[in-house]
Amino acid sequence: MNRTFFRYAFNGIILNISGFLVYLLFTFIGIEPKVAMTINYIFFLIIGFYLHKNFSFIGSHINPSKFKFLMVHFSAYLLNLLLLFSMVDLFQFKHQYVQGISVVFVAIYIYLMLNQHVFKIRNKINIKNDSI
């Protein structure tokens, strides 16, 4: 495991626990689960971008248009929405459990996509070390 992964995991744990608690609060006060998840995505996307850019992926650069970053998160949002819809609406599982488990799968997906397609290492020495 490399340092990037551990920094991402640390930030991810903090963000996901915070986001899940906010999600539970929103649903507790009566906001529909898919709407609560959508609100969370927008808010934590902004916070996550700056945390990952300035802490998780140090020594990397963001692609000029930020398009790939947004596409990764949009696809992750759709994945999370699909999981909520299928497991809660179709199979009648409790939304709290589905969202709690979804957070883990979506976080892994986002890490892999950000690491491979968005935040690229510029330093050639790092590229050589990662390929060994």
Mean pLDDT for 82-101 is 96
Is residue 122 classed exposed, middle or buried when 0-12, 13-18 and 19+ CB atoms within 10 A define those classes? Answer: exposed
Which pLDDT does position 56 carry in this prediction? Answer: 78
Which pLDDT does position 125 carry in this prediction? Answer: 45
Which pLDDT does position 21 carry in this prediction? Answer: 96
DSSP 49-116: HHHIIIIITTTEE--TT-HHHHHHHHHHHHHHHHHHIIIIIIT---HHHHHHHHHHHHHHHHHHHIII
pLDDT digits (tens, 9 = 90+) for 62-84: 554 578 888 999 999 999 999 99
Mean pLDDT for 103-120 is 86
pLDDT above 90: residue 109 = yes
Count of domains in the chain? 1
Domain span holding position 73: 3-131
